[in-house]
Structure 1
């Protein structure tokens, strides 16, 4: 038996936390129905001063489901959803499931070619889309989708903050119907279609950090398991408000906010898009207990002049995922915001979490790499670190992290389970290089395809980034390999500076040279205004390359 089969991590589980989940629900729709039956008039959504109850969500999603069925939407059909964090996305999810369909999530941040590719991949029968997004991609949608239902960020809002902050207005579109009109005039006569736990519930686009996004097939069981995993791991209580800071069109916001709120019968706090001022207002007003977001969101909150430990005091559970967090960043944010930020680790294909830090626990920092642990494998989850041949490596040895469990997606939409796929044989080959220490804590160092080979020397970008991050003028940095006629590859660092800071690129190169082996320090440094990131805060190194 190797160290992974021994599941060393179980020794660090909090007292009373089992290693197995007995699922309470088989699907997210079952969770919704339970909340509706238990407390129909309780708050389900808070959105810019307005409150929608569970009964409100049920009635509105029935009207949307009726409209879909009237237009021939059938079991297994895809409802494309291209909206931000507003009530409409919940209505779209519920309506798709009530009709036996699949919610195909499409990023509202896509440009025309990306939107076209998503439509070609998912072939939706109907589309729920923000009106301003549709205005940009009309030519791609026309003739491709039978029914187009438009949404405005102003829909359901109880004050003008969404208009004031995001400067939005309604954008009429010919040949479409507005969601509010559907709800106001629609019937609730819906023929509910049965679904099985292993049926596809959501097509979730992968992050696209290494290439075009693929649609991960997340089942009803995947979503139900991950929602309960978040709930039971954190020991959140029924009705505790959930703050949504991550995009719901990505798996983190979908599972760590929407699905979690459904499982808890808790109000979900939405702000259309992330804005630090709006989020701080929402925290003061609605007193959420939990949120999960990219570390960049917490940095933005910490940099806001209204941020303080007192302002954030209700948010007792704060999790961050999407990218490794440097220990010094986590410490600074804890001081500024008045509470620990815990790591959560997973992928779209793992329906969000495979590893989490227990609430209140201080994740260890590896003394050699300086990396902060991403946590322990959660309930029913097996994690291993393997070499290039797929064989487990000993604790402390670098390799690729591989995960397996009830949260692993059923595959990729439109793609076979091929030998080279990240999803194969019920496992997720994460592409992340890391290790497990002798106590069962896991660490992520870099992406396997980010390794730089300079004159035969292997360089992990993380090593250089950690040194640069220690310079007082540096806000954030990313290192990539660039072609070099002599060395094969060389290193270039892109650096964003702290507000008001000034430093020369040559000074940063010298700073690294004094602290690193000669083959490691960056040969080039470029000062930039910001690093390219996905909507969920993941660094897009391929754009830098």
Structure 2
């Protein structure tokens, strides 16, 4: 169509820029799958396979139990689990009773966890049994009226020692056991709950660019718009197998992996927390065709002593979200494993993946910044780059990335001022990311606004320096920050971890970047450390490095 955005020329065949048609709710979409293919495989966990019917029956039983516990429409329940089948079953059960799933990172402890529980006013909590006693202490006196635990040893029998060494099931006083609740309520169905498109399906906390964590409310419409669009983008259907690598407690895993797969015809493979050897073996074992993971996941595969293209023989597409990929990493991975890593981009506020490289396409590199494109807007999303006054900049110019579409959240939970700060009256979401959109619609993410380094009045984006470092064969991971400097204002400072067996020096790395960057951009200080600090979702924590300088 002539009035479609320019970037639709890059779309997979048959797709248009129009917002995808979505069911009323995730419950409706799930019911459609149950009706269409009840005996097909749904969830795979090592040597165990649960059919669609089994998952539907188990989530019905759990939903009936939750209603007995008083959980209903609009209630918030925290789920703090690794990538195991119980996570998906719990999400479905909560959606069936009209509740909102508060996804919680298992690394959250003590006050950090309690602050999110208090802010969300969660009435229930589902977590791992081995963390049950600590959670009970943390949640004492909170709004949480009941607790439930489950073991990641359940629903499989292999007990792979690489993941389950010294693991044991734990009985937690005062907490229900999830599978026991399922068994005791077998055959029951919950009372029908009216679940509307505008009801909150997920509550995910994000620190954003400033201030304390904020709870982004992703509605059923938001989640479905992203999930349906991403499935269509990849051509997901019968015959595909999706590997859950991105943590389900992160928006990418919860939506682009879990929700998207649950409403498709493809089974979802779980391998618990990430172990690179287990991940590599899972590709061939389960004939995985698609996965999405942070770039640190693919770096972990590259760091293995074994593995080549034969191990990924069933793969159609690989996607990476969370942070843009250095071009050199993409090339190195394809050379060894035979597959191109496609960028995908999204935010908690957009219910995950909304910009991506078309399947089978190679992302261009921006000549000015050296940045690999994150792709083009997926169906239903509009995007633009604006200056500090909110005016759209010309193609090829830097500006803040803004997005608008049915994927965008309506609000932060009970934070109207913070909502108004990022959402305009006409629906544009300000990302906090600096981007370039070229004349063909390719989007290049330069960096975060808050991470810009001002060295002697010159603007330096950490990403550009990091990409230069990644070109060195000995560099495993790199992060660049600005260190306070009385003379320059800020000094470009690099932290690097090396590949096993490497012996390069900080001085050699500095010289390497000097050959590739302008004089004001190369790092004046290079620190070689064993491992860069990361979040549990695999993102490098620049903030921790800034605090250390």
TM-score (norm. length: structure 2): 0.94
The answer to whether the 8 Å contact 2:454/2:490 transfers is yes
Matching residue of 1:147: 146
2:473 matched to which residue of 1?
Answer: 472
Equivalent residue, structure 1, for 2:357: 357
Q: 2:89 matched to 1:59?
A: no
Task: State the alpha-carbon separation in 2 of the partners of residues 165 and 280 from structure 1.
Answer: 18
- The residue correspondences of 1:211-290 to structure 2 (distance < 5 A) are 212-290=212-290
Shift of residue 393 of structure 1?
0.6
Partner of 1:329: 329
Alignment match, 2:402? 402
Q: Is contact 1:239-1:264 (8 Å) kept?
A: no
Q: Spell out, residue by residue over 1:475-521, the C-alpha distance to the aligned partner (whole angstroms, 9 max, x if none).
A: 12111111112222112111111111123323323333344333222
Deviations 1:381-431 (A, max 9, x none): 110001111111111111111011110011111211547622343222111
Residue matched to 2:527 = 526
Alignment deviations for residues 316-351 of structure 1 (CA, whole Å, 9 cap, x no partner): 111111111111110111121111111111111111
Moved more, 160-169 or 534-543: 160-169
The secondary structure found in structure 2 opposite 1:431 is strand
Aligned counterpart for 1:76 among listed residues 74, 77, 100: 74
- 1:158 Cα deviation after fit: 3.2
Contact 2:411 2:419 (8 Å CA) reproduced: no
CA distance in 2, matches of 1:290, 1:258: 13
Aligned residue number for residue 116 of structure 2: 118
> For the residues of structure 2 that align with 1:516 and 1:239, how far apart are their CA atoms?
46
Question: Is the 1:86–1:271 Cα contact (8 Å) retained in structure 2?
Answer: yes
Name the CA distance, whole Å, in 1 between partners of 2:543 and 2:163: 35
Q: Contact conserved, 1:459 with 1:520, CA < 8 A, in 2?
A: yes
Q: How does 1:274-423 map to 2 (within 5 A)?
A: 274-418=274-418, 421-423=421-423
Q: Deviations over 1:139-183 (max 9, x none)?
A: 211232211000111121132126755542223321112112111
Give the 5 Å matches for 1:180-195: 180-186=179-185, 188-195=188-195
Residue 74 of structure 1 and its aligned partner are, at CA, apart by: 2.2
d(CA) in 1 for partners of 2:384, 2:397: 11
Contact 1:153-1:162 within 8 A present in 2 as well: no
The alpha-carbon deviation at position 291 of structure 1 amounts to: 0.8
Relative to structure 1, is the Cα distance of residues 514 and 340 closer, same or farther in structure 2, using a 3 angstrom cutoff?
closer
1:341-382 deviation per Cα after TM superposition (whole angstroms, max 9, x unaligned): 111111111111221111111111122222111101111211
Are 1:451 and 1:458, in contact at CA under 8 Å, matched by a contact in 2?
Answer: yes
Where 1:89 maps in the other structure, the secondary structure is helix
* Counterpart for residue 86 of structure 1: 84
SS at 1:264's partner residue? Answer: coil
Q: Which moved more, 1:135-144 or 1:372-381?
A: 135-144
Q: Distance in 1 between matches of 2:386 and 2:119?
A: 32
Change in 2 beyond 3 A, CA 1:171/1:475: same
How many Å separate the matches in 1 of 2:419 and 2:129?
41
> Within 2, Cα distance between the matches of 1:110 and 1:352?
21
Deviation of the 1:212 alpha carbon? 4.3
Quote the Cα distance in structure 1 between the aligned partners of 2:39 and 2:209.
Answer: 42
Query: In 2, are the aligned partners of 1:401 and 1:430 still within 8 Å (CA)?
Result: yes
Describe the SS at the equivalent of 2:435: strand
Distance in 2 (alpha carbons) for counterparts of 1:209 and 1:225 = 25
Contact 1:27/1:223 (CA < 8 Å) preserved in 2? no
Distance change >3 Å, CA 368–CA 481, structure 1 → 2: same
Q: Cα–Cα, structure 1 residues 134 and 210, in superposed 2: closer, same or farther, change >3 Å?
A: farther
The aligned counterpart of 1:12 is: 10
For residues 77 and 114 of structure 1, what CA distance do their matches in structure 2 show? Answer: 21
Contact 1:154 / 1:163 at 8 angstroms: preserved in 2?
no
Kindly indicate whether the alpha-carbon contact (under 8 Å) linking 1:364 and 1:372 is maintained by their aligned counterparts in 2.
Answer: yes
Partner Cα distance (1:236, 1:164) in 2? 29
Q: How many angstroms apart in 1 are the aligned matches of 2:209 and 2:537?
A: 11
CA distance in 1, matches of 2:419, 2:79: 31
Against the structure 1 CA distance between its residues 39 and 472, is the aligned structure 2 distance closer, same or farther, given a 3 Å change threshold? closer
Q: Any idea what the Cα deviations from partners look like across 1:73-111, whole Å, max 9, x if unmatched?
A: 221111110111111111211111111111111111112
Confirm whether residue 460 of structure 1 aligns to residue 458 of structure 2.
no
Q: Are the aligned partners of 2:61 and 2:185 in contact in 1 as well (CA < 8 Å)?
A: yes
Further displaced range: 6-15 or 527-536: 6-15
Q: How does 1:511-522 map to 2 (within 5 A)?
A: 511-522=512-523
1:175-211 deviations in Å (ceiling 9; x for gaps) = 1121121112125142121111011111022266766
Alpha-carbon distance between aligned partners in 2 of 1:160 and 1:364, rounded to the nearest angstrom: 44
SS of alignment partner, residue 84 of structure 1: coil
Q: Classify the secondary structure of the residue corresponding to 2:312.
A: coil
Unpaired runs of at least 5, structure 1: none
Aligned to 1:158: 157
Aligned-residue offset at 1:258: 1.2
